[in-house]
Amino acid sequence: MAQDVLCEVNNCVYWAHGNQCEADKIYVVSHTGKEADKQEETDCKTFEPQH
């Protein structure tokens, strides 16, 4: 399992200094079903905007 998860979306509640993700779990989904061929076909469902 990955020890360091990087994220450049600094308006996410899980974003931390150094582009670190502090979420306990990461949930990534594909737009095309159970498989993806390109990065652009995926989304991070863990994202939550800061208020």
Contact 21, 7 (CB under 8 A): yes
Please enumerate in sequence order all residues whose Cβ is within 8 A of that of 13, keeping only pairs 6 or more positions apart, or say none. Answer: 48, 49, 50
What is the model's pLDDT at position 32?
92
Which sequence spans correspond to the domains of the chain?
Answer: 1-51
Contact 48, 13 (CB under 8 A): yes
pTM of the model: 0.82
What is the model's pLDDT at position 2?
78
What is the model's pLDDT at position 3?
84
Full pLDDT tens readout for the chain, 51 residues: 778 999 999 999 999 999 999 999 999 999 999 999 999 999 999 999 998
What is the model's pLDDT at position 1?
75
